[in-house]
Amino acid sequence: MSLPIADAVTPISVDVPGFTSEPVWLVIIKVLMVFAFLVVMTLFSIVFERKVVGRMQNRIGPNRVGPWGILQSLADGVKLAFKEEIIPILADKPVYFIAPILSAVPAFVAFCVIPFGPTVSMFGHETQLQLTDLPVGVLVVFACSSLGVYGIVLSGWASGSTYPLLGGLRSAAQMISYEVGMGLSLVAVFVISGSMSTSEIVAQQSHVWNVIPLFVSFAIYAVCVVGETNRAPFDLAEAESELVGGFHTEYSSFKFAMFFLAEYINMVTVSALATTLFLGGWHAPWGVHYFWSGCNSGWFPVIWFVLKVVACIFVFVWLRGTLPRMRYDQFMHLGWKVLIPINLIWIMAFTSFHVLTQRGWNRFEASGVVFIPVVAVILIVLYSREMSAARAAAEREYEDDYEASLPPPFPTPPMDLVVPPIRRSVRTATTPAGAVTAGSGAAGVPARNGDPSNG
């Protein structure tokens, strides 16, 4: 039986779950585009970091491989791929091989829900510049970042060495702690957008970016993602001065390159997520649309998206070249006792303000009802902390003074003791001047044996 001409010419579309009704070949093209974008951004981020830090430290930076040194990261990747691989004898081989894969693959998958731009025409098909969109798209990024913890912990455990194990444990505690703060910082975004879909959150920011009304959430998110990605000054899982190289100390060659790749892809992913949730996504900066009406149509929004991601990456590099590494107890104190309480208070205040405005209250009235008590509570808490700190300092000073007034528990010599000058020996003091003692020549000069003049 022959097919009709219309059916023979029309391309067959297959409904792929999560990809609407796009042709499979178009989905594959978008997958390859996302993969190529992440690889290129990783190579760019490495050179960009070295150049920026070199400029901050008043030195040249890479300038040998390629024009202006822009191919240095590519040369490093080729070098790592062809280096000799050394596997420890005590390593658990299956887990040792799987751990780098568990770190790199979720870093790629997390980018599937990030929108690059609006709907465009690609090979005759209208398609969204986004690999896929889900009603809970932001949670996909959290799930992928949580899976990345397994790769780091297993790499530290499977190496069969002490320093990687300590680095893996540190990283597990660090990433889990700051994932809590990062998740709480996005609650206000979900409240103001009314959705967890990344494309809907970007569409909601067509007039006002979320960073303006949700600056507190954005600041907390910025701090948490630095700890989540193990970047300086929070790179305590890879502290060279303490743990040699951290969880990847025993890795070399291509496996080490996969950890390196995962770190930079995670940095690109969290920068893209910050762009999507707080910085307007692919929308042009404010004011551009007044003199360019087509700035948010076609392929031009990809340029705005990439520029915003690069700006976020610059902040990562800036922090690395500026701030010293924190102590681990200070780092955990910041996450659990500072960021999370501030997050909870902010969520409560903002949701109350949002509910009141939805019920018809004026924004100024709702702000007075909600934020004035919150500010009062914060001031009371800060005042009580200052008073308790002053009280503790006074108690320590009193204890030091009291201990200084007590007699010493063991006998000590007096502090004003004067040592008398050295006395001459009694023999020297009682010998008459000019007398010659037995066995000596001239006065005070001992005789030399065998000398006839001393007879």
User: What's the whole-number average pLDDT of the chain?
Assistant: 81
Task: Note the pLDDT of residue 1.
Answer: 42
Task: Note the pLDDT of residue 445.
Answer: 45
Structure tokens at 246: 């951290």
Q: Is the pLDDT of residue 134 over 80?
A: yes
Sign of CA dihedral 385, 389, 390, 394: positive
Which is more confident, 288 or 67? 67
Q: What is the pLDDT of residues 324-381, one digit of tens each?
A: 888 888 888 888 888 999 899 899 888 888 888 888 888 888 888 888 888 888 888 8
**Angstrom distances, CA of residue 216 to CA of 62, 345, 439:** 37, 11, 98
What whole-number distance in Å separates Cα of residue 267 and Cα of residue 41?
Answer: 10
The band of 243, judged by pLDDT with boundaries at 50, 70 and 90, is low
Q: Is the pLDDT of residue 218 over 90?
A: yes
Round to the nearest angstrom and report the end-to-end CA distance of the chain.
147
What whole-number distance in Å separates Cα of residue 138 and Cα of residue 159?
Answer: 33
Q: What is the pLDDT of residues 284-295, one digit of tens each?
A: 888 787 788 778
Q: What is the pLDDT of residues 110-126, one digit of tens each?
A: 888 999 988 888 888 88
Task: Note the pLDDT of residue 242.
Answer: 66
Least confident of 222-226, 274-278, 445-449: 445-449
Q: Is the pLDDT of residue 88 over 90?
A: no
Which is more confident, 11 or 218? 218
Q: What is the pLDDT of residues 255-266, one digit of tens each?
A: 888 888 888 998
Whole-structure pTM value: 0.78
Domain locations along the chain: 86-287+296-360, 364-396
What whole-number distance in Å separates Cα of residue 15 and Cα of residue 57?
Answer: 54
The band of 155, judged by pLDDT with boundaries at 50, 70 and 90, is confident
**β-pair partners for 440:** 446
Task: Note the pLDDT of residue 156.
Answer: 86
The answer to whether 283 and 301 have CB atoms below 8 angstroms apart is: yes
